[in-house]
Amino acid sequence: MKITTEQVEYVALLGRLALTSEEKKKYSAQLDDILKYMDMLAEVPTDDVEPMAGPVKLFTPLREDKVEPSLSVEDALRNAPAVAGSSFRVPKVIE
């Protein structure tokens, strides 16, 4: 077994989890199974596989950056519950 109960207790402490002794045994076995599977994956030959960041090519379509008409200050502030000059007035949140 690669994962010890002490390691599970340490991870539970970091996550602020209260685990019973049965849960510690269960999770140590589950984590050990995961690590065994990772060892199996490490044995797969990947010499001929090109590195990639993801399985799908990503692209970001960009639109033309053009100036368009927007709301006037008066229109933007029309439904504001409180206004201070040309700004929205909000309650103080920092002491």
Q: Using 50, 70 and 90 to split pLDDT, how confident is the model at 56? A: confident
What is the per-residue pLDDT across 64-75, written as a single tens digit (0 to 9) for each?
889 999 999 999
Asked whether the beta carbons of 2 and 32 are under 8 A apart, the reply is: yes
Domain boundary assignment for the chain:
5-42
Asked if the 5-42 domain carries CATH number 1.10.10, the reply is no
- What is the model's pTM? 0.48
**Residues 39 and 19: beta-carbon distance below 8 Å:** no
Q: How many helices (H) and strands (E) does the chain have?
A: 3, 2
